[in-house]
Amino acid sequence: MNDFEKKKELFLKQKETLDTFLKTGAITQLQYDKSYGDLVKKMGMESVAEEISKAEK
């Protein structure tokens, strides 16, 4: 597994945690959107976020 794949795996795990927080009401949609946006930028996962967005539509 290369560095990008490791980083992507960590990103997806952190997104899953955010998804759980949102579903359980631990955070609001606004908090989710801010945290997810920050996560995407900090980890450089814009291409992965775009893939996820397309897959969810």
Q: Tell me the domain boundaries of the chain.
A: 3-56
pLDDT digits (tens, 9 = 90+) for 5-54: 999 999 999 999 999 999 999 999 999 999 999 999 999 999 999 999 99
Residues whose CB falls within 8 Å of the CB of residue 11, separated by 6 or more in sequence, listed in order = 39, 40, 43, 45, 48
Q: What's the rounded Cα separation, in Å, for the pair 36 and 19?
A: 9
pLDDT digits (tens, 9 = 90+) for 22-33: 999 999 999 999
Q: What's the rounded Cα separation, in Å, for the pair 40 and 57?
A: 19
Residues whose CB falls within 8 Å of the CB of residue 28, separated by 6 or more in sequence, listed in order = 22
